[in-house]
Amino acid sequence: MSQQPPPSSDGIDDISIDKAYSLALDHFKADNLIAADRLCTTIIKTHPNSIAAINLLGLIAQKINRHDQAANIFKRALNIDGNNAVLHYNLGISFYQLGNRVESVKALQKSLAINPKYIEAYSSIGNTLTELGKLDSAISNLQKAITLKADYADAHYNIAIAYKKQAKIDLAITHFTKATQITPYFKAHFNLGNTFRDMGQLENAIASYQRAIDIEPGFIGSHNNLLLTSQYLQNQTLENLYLIHSKWANEHFNSSNIPLFTSDIDRDENRKLKIGLISPDFRLHPVGYFMAGFFKHYQASMFEIVCYSDSKKDKMTDMLESYVDSWVFSKNFTDDLLAQRIVDDRIDILFDLAGHTENNRLQLFANKLAPIQISWAGYVGTTGLSAMDYLIGDKYYTPHGDDRYYSEKIIRLPDSWVCYTPPDYIPEVEQKPSTDQRQIILGNFGNPTKINSMMLEVWAQILLKIPNSNLLLIYKNMDSQTNIQRIRGYFNKAGIANNRITIEGHTPHKKLLQRYNEVDLALDTLPYSGGLTTFEALLMGVPVVTTYGATFAGRHASSILHNAGLAQLVTDSLDEYINVVENIINNPQQLKNLKNGLRQRLLNSAMCDYNKFSTDLGQQLRDAWIKWCKGEKQRKTLHPG
């Protein structure tokens, strides 16, 4: 949402005043805001009704983020000239910056009532309505802006955001692309990359992120998403992931590891420790499901837990908050403000639960905010940061021998690296007739980003080997035309009819879980394996077949299945994967035996033994603390090559 130039001043006839305003405007455009402010104030002393000078003062206040002050200034100007579209527009921008989206829309609508061809107002109101979830109205306003000015990049960008929220991915790609063609718009390249990634078009995604980085190297989101997307690439290796993550960190952070935590921390090895955790995902999200058991059962006599939450609240947030000692809603904190809060809270061990995923605060960890910093649960491998002391893993995710591919030292938990808490609305597992009497349903309810050409080829071979089998795919954006054409096109070339492939989009979570009752066997993906989806399949009595991957991201299902006592479903190659699926389906009794009691097998496993998990993790944290107190070296020297 861009600022508008000041409207013409009425009633300024004095040439010196006119020159003063012109000079003030020049200072404003050159970011000489103090000089611009001084000149405007001088003008208003002799011409108190100068709309131009008052408006410019409001724009100056906007520019220095004094949005309350700016809003009051624009209201003052509107008391003089209430029929000025630009003043209403600028007031709408101030309301937007203050977080008052409803009042912002009202002010922007007033500007449009005065000037129905106000292009910027249509775009800004469309952007604001998108954030309010009124997508049809948002798109209508944005289409009007584009009709008035076909090469208006902001409107193309904003309408693409709205279309993406409606899961109209193809239209989103069209308008993001148009915005990038009009101007070097790094956010359009960034969001185009996100959209390509969601469609499984990984090479296009990485190219878009790289273009965004070239235009705006300081925007860390592009770097984060490039690294995250690299985890999905076929033939990815731990060594390459280590190199690109370390390269990113060395270029931006690793040369400035200045500890910020207080130097007078009590080094008592046995005292109660203060544990801090930062996440944008303390909500109905894999991180939420992985934290609930630990938070509820941690050793309160040994640890105090403080959460720094960048999440919007939902019922998972409320539950997690009820389990811990302190909860800080940090979503509106700047990085500097949050860093200072953590230091002031005197945190002993600080966890990052996001890594390079969306809305992370990973850069805060570059300068040590706590004596011990740990990456856990929210990312799939090394962060690349030398200031990150440890990474939590287990013997399946991070087997001995892999340590050289992590910038962190590895803490290996004895069972699983996380514990899983099911939702409180688990549907019943329904019994189905024997598979020798009906069609077989194979399923994957994972992100389409994970469904690459390699997996489509494997699944096509399975469908050809098992003629009475069908495939069910469900996930947000799975049903976009781009995805449907990509997936169906591949199966069509393999000679598999469309009626054997069912593709569905967003489904409410409880209903999604119920759909597992239609599935006989779940098919995992590589190189990025299913984590929460594997837990949920087992919870709903559906076995999962996987292949042990080459990277951390490729080992989710392997760890879960081993810990559930289902090692026979973990294969060493995709050829073996195909054979195991075929053998299970062709042996109805074997499939029945696998499914019987599968939910209880999961719930009885170490992955749902919250007391044991909390004790095991607590011991590892205590051991790490003792090492720090003794002055033992925690971090590794990086050799990224």
DSSP class per residue in 340-388:
HHHHHTT-SEEEES-TTSTT--GGGGGS-SSSEEEE-SSSSS----TT-
Helix (H, G, I), strand (E, B) or coil at 277: strand
Residue 382 scores a pLDDT above 90 = yes
Contact 101/70 with Cβ under 8 angstroms?
Answer: no
* SS3 state of residue 9: coil
Of all residues in the chain, the percent with pLDDT exceeding 70 is 96
Query: What is the rounded CA–CA span in Å between residue 67 and residue 61?
Result: 6
Name residue 147's amino acid. Answer: T
Residue 1, pLDDT score: 59
Residues 6 or more apart in contact with residue 301 via CB below 8 angstroms: 272
* pLDDT beyond 90 at 219: yes
Give per-residue pLDDT as tens, 538-557. 999 999 999 999 999 999 99
pLDDT digits (tens, 9 = 90+) for 272-283: 999 999 999 999
Q: What pLDDT, on a 0 to 100 scale, did the predictor assign at position 528?
A: 98
Query: In this structure, what DSSP letter does residue 284 have?
Result: S
pLDDT(285) > 50: yes
Name the band, by pLDDT with cuts 50, 70 and 90, for residue 4.
Answer: low
Locate 475 and state its tokens: 């996930």
Q: Dump pLDDT digits (tens) for 306-332.
A: 999 999 899 999 999 999 999 999 998
The Cα–Cα gap between 209 and 510 comes to: 34
Rounded-to-integer distance, Cα 599 and Cα 41, Å: 72
Give the pLDDT confidence of 228-274 residue by residue, as tens digits. Answer: 999 999 999 999 999 999 999 998 886 656 788 888 899 999 999 99
Q: Which of 485, 481, 417, 487 lies closest to 446 in space, CA to CA?
A: 487
Mean pLDDT to the nearest integer, 498-513: 96
Decide which of 252 and 487 is more confident: 487
Q: Model's pTM, two decimal places?
A: 0.88
Task: Convert the pLDDT of each residue in 354-372 to its tens digit.
Answer: 999 999 999 999 989 999 9
Q: Which domains does the chain have, with CATH numbers?
A: 15-216 (1.25.40.10), 273-419+618-629 (3.40.50.11380), 435-605 (3.40.50.2000)
Percent of the chain with pLDDT over 90: 87
The model's pLDDT over 7-59, given as tens digits with 9 standing for 90+, comes to: 444 434 455 778 889 999 999 999 999 999 999 999 999 899 999 999 999 99
Mean pLDDT on 454-477: 96
Q: How confident is the model at residue 431 (pLDDT cuts 50, 70, 90)?
A: confident
CA dist list (Å): 236 to 47, 48, 241, 312, 523? 68, 66, 8, 34, 20
Predicted confidence (pLDDT) at residue 6 exceeds the cutoff of 50: no
Look at residue 3 and tell me whether its pLDDT is greater than 70.
Answer: no
Rounded CA-CA distance 580/546 in Å is 9
Neighbours of 637 (CB within 10 A): 7
407 burial (CB, 10 Å; 0-12 / 13-18 / 19+) is: buried
Task: Please tell me the predicted confidence (pLDDT) of residue 11.
Answer: 38
Mean residue pLDDT of the chain comes to 93
Distance CA 412, CA 395 (A): 6
Summarize pLDDT for 573-624 with one digit per residue, the tens. Answer: 999 999 999 999 999 999 999 999 999 999 999 999 999 999 999 999 999 9
Q: Are 23 and 39 in contact (CB under 8 A)?
A: yes
